[in-house]
Structure 1
Amino acid sequence: MKIVFPVLSLEMGGGARFIYHLANALVDKGHDVEVVMPDKGLQVWPLRAKLKRVKELTPASIPSADFILPNFYLTVKPAFESQKGRVVRLSLGYEPLWVPESEIAKQTYLIGAPIMSISQWHRQLILQETGLQSTVISGGVDFSTFHPYPKTSKQTGYKNIFYIMRDPISGYTWKGGAEFLKAVTRLKDQVNFDLTVSIPENAQFKSPVPCNVKTSNTDQELAHLYAEADLFVYTSYFEAFGLPPLEAMASGTAVVTTDCGGNRDYVQNGENCLSVPPSDIDQLSSAIYYLLTEDTERQRIAASGHSFAQAWTWERTANQVEAFLLSLK
């Protein structure tokens, strides 16, 4: 099949990473995959799919294809108006929850195109807000990159917490960064730990506790940060899926995560992670403290998460997409 992904950019962020992993996995299955992106869009990761640069996304700039998969509300209109292939709305997050043009974003779900969602929670949200059914495809992990490495705590003697701090000024107000900082501030006088923070937007960051600020511009850099940590913490209020906790599990690292919706498809509280309510600083602090201080439990949860994650491959995701697209022909 010829499959086209019109995108605005492939910068840092879960949505862009989902696209590039999915596009590459579909190429590996033998499909003709092309990503169309404006000249000003950034490409952070390597693509095995073809990349077509255009001045801007317009109906004329969209190549002909069997299927066109717009994944963000601003890419739906040029894809639909191009009439150059069957449009399937790939939703990587229900945009009316956070974009300023919420009603315009909602209308992009009401064009009559089939919809792919990325978790059962996400499917239910789209149904609730639009009355439309969607087909769930799952996220995955690249196990050639995300796998265990030696823990830095074996050399330092201090357990290491890893956190990805998204920049609120860039619009990431639902990621729970403020709650995380409050939790670790509480814990700094109760238990010794090292803190490593990655900021994808390279924003200025002031931590109330000592921390190592790292860059993670490639999957390889991110994989090392996950794997070298003893504990990964994730604090989003809502997510359509949420790749980081699953990637941390694959990296052999124990996870504390909020119950943010889309991760319910793979989160098993007390088995492969500890899950706490969003914005609940008391429970978040307690969960972090527990896994920092209970070595046997932390190692058990890390091992369980690593084993569980093995089934969540991008090949599996590509198989799900392929099967759904073929059902539409």
Structure 2
Amino acid sequence: MYLDNFKTVYYKSKNKLMFVNPSLKSGGGNRVFVELSNLLTERFESVSILYPNNSKDRSHYYINENVTLLPVGRVSTSIFKKILNVFSSIREIKKILDEDSEMISIISDPILSIFYMTLPKKYKKRTYRFVQADDYRIYDDLYILKNKIILSVYKNLCLKSYSDVDHLLFNSVYTYNQFKNLVPNTDASLKIVHPGINTSVFYNRKTRVSNQFNICLVARKHPWKGFIDFISAWNSIDQSVKEQINNIFIISHDDLGEFNLPEKAKIIKPSSDIQISEVMNLAQIFISTSWWEGFGLPPLEAMACGCAVLCSNSKGILEYALDRQNCMIYEPKNVGQLTNNLTKLILDAPLRNRLAAAAEVNAQKFTWQNAARQFSGILNENS
């Protein structure tokens, strides 16, 4: 397992870690906590993941047997029962922190962070807020909150929650700068823990077929993921260029029925990271269309798999993405730029090969082992 390379890096700490997730569903923030938990069992006395039991969905992520899962409440589908599970989770967190002075809690989800404000101040000395997105603006499109009044209440509470913890971590310069713009008087310093890739899963398997030209992307229904921009760009590409493409692999567990998918689209609902990697290894080009991301893992994973990556300037990707050096970048929502860059990548094989080769090398710098070291180093500073 990829855990082996991390075992001898640190002495065993007496501290215990409790990562607080909104669920165990697949998703960027949840993924980061699961991967860190897997590795940090070798560094800390115990590692657990606590979450309100608000979804029947489970991720396809591997979870180390030494990580303790702490679901709170019964699986619920109603909003009322979900809120009760969240309150029950906060009570359970308080109980755990009260009973164990060595326990450190780490939270990221913006909604749960608001509920965290109900904890007594003494527990916040042992709490880290890991900011992985522009939490203040994350619901601006009303796709989830639906109502402008609810959005306004959320924004006010979000601002208060930013100043309610003693320790802050960030996954990119972008998320740090967005935070600083909202809380300019804070003394929070730039402490970054970069997400990473599992290099034993996401790597160039050399399985691309010479007589096939495939495109791959990860799609979500959420508007700011920008999938509609790809649909619009594909519809704008010349027919002669489209004919060179054999398959468009769309990795998604969402119901994409509202989109007018291309005829060459094939929906992939992965059951594991290995399957995602195998699909990426069939594609020459990977496309990321998000309007913004705190970091953005899929493009990095695609780079490690040997794809030429075309991505929007979603800000967080700039931690690893360099335009025309290891990828091609277009401005978010600019369908014209996306169309032109995609056409160029399809037609220009030397450019594709050069970008893919540079990206594959650069991606190796971002591993979960490095993320665990960054995280442990920051905790050591504060111990």
TM-score between the two structures when normalised by the length of structure 2: 0.79
Which aligned pairs between 1:1-20 and structure 2 lie closer than 5 A?
1-20=15-34
Q: Does the 8 Å CA contact 1:188/1:209 hold for their aligned counterparts?
A: no
Structure 1 residue aligned with 2:232: 182
User: Residues 114-155 of structure 1: CA distance to partner in whole angstroms, max 9, x if unpaired?
Assistant: 21111011111110112233422111000111011344442x
Instruction: State the structure with more CA Rg.
Output: 2
Q: CA deviation at 1:324?
A: 0.8
Count of matched residue positions in the alignment of Structure 1 and Structure 2: 323
Amino acid at match of 1:35: I
User: Residues 76-117 of structure 1: CA distance to partner in whole angstroms, max 9, x if unpaired?
Assistant: 255451655611111111222122322222321110422111
Structure 2 residue aligned with 1:273: 327
Amino acid at match of 2:237: L
Q: Take 2:353 and 2:233, find their aligned partners in 1: how far apart are those partners?
A: 22
Unaligned runs of 5+ in 1: none
Q: Does the 8 Å CA contact 1:6/1:79 hold for their aligned counterparts?
A: no
Amino acid at match of 1:179: D
User: Residues 217-243 of structure 1: CA distance to partner in whole angstroms, max 9, x if unpaired?
Assistant: 321121112121110000111111001
Q: CA deviation at 1:75?
A: 2.1
Please, which of 195, 198, 201 is the counterpart of residue 254 of structure 2?
201
Q: CA deviation at 1:31?
A: 4.8
Q: Does the 8 Å CA contact 1:91/1:117 hold for their aligned counterparts?
A: yes
Which aligned pairs between 1:93-104 and structure 2 lie closer than 5 A?
93-99=133-139, 100=151, 101-104=154-157
Q: Does the 8 Å CA contact 1:79/1:87 hold for their aligned counterparts?
A: no
Q: Does the 8 Å CA contact 2:128/2:165 hold for their aligned counterparts?
A: no
Q: CA deviation at 1:5?
A: 0.9
Please, which of 43, 52, 70 is the counterpart of residue 70 of structure 2?
52
Please, which of 71, 96, 100 is the counterpart of residue 108 of structure 2?
71
User: Residues 8-51 of structure 1: CA distance to partner in whole angstroms, max 9, x if unpaired?
Assistant: 21212212212211221222434521101123344312322211
Amino acid at match of 1:274: M
User: Residues 246-271 of structure 1: CA distance to partner in whole angstroms, max 9, x if unpaired?
Assistant: 11011111100111111111111111
Q: Take 1:119 and 1:53, find their aligned partners in 2: how far apart are those partners?
A: 29
Q: Take 1:277 and 1:97, find their aligned partners in 2: how far apart are those partners?
A: 19
- Residue 281 of structure 2 aligns to a residue whose secondary structure is helix
Structure 1 residue aligned with 2:54: 40
Amino acid at match of 1:91: V
Q: Take 1:173 and 1:271, find their aligned partners in 2: how far apart are those partners?
A: 29
Pair 59,199 (structure 1): closer, same or farther in 2 beyond 3 Å = closer
Please, which of 174, 195, 198 is the counterpart of residue 142 of structure 1?
198
- Identity, % of aligned pairs? 22
Structure 2 residue aligned with 1:241: 295
Unaligned runs of 5+ in 2: 1-14, 74-84, 140-150
Deviation larger for 95-104 or 135-144:
95-104
Pair 76,246 (structure 1): closer, same or farther in 2 beyond 3 Å = same
Amino acid at match of 1:292: I
Amino acid at match of 1:43: R
Q: CA deviation at 1:176?
A: 1.1
Which aligned pairs between 1:201-240 and structure 2 lie closer than 5 A?
201-204=254-257, 205-240=259-294
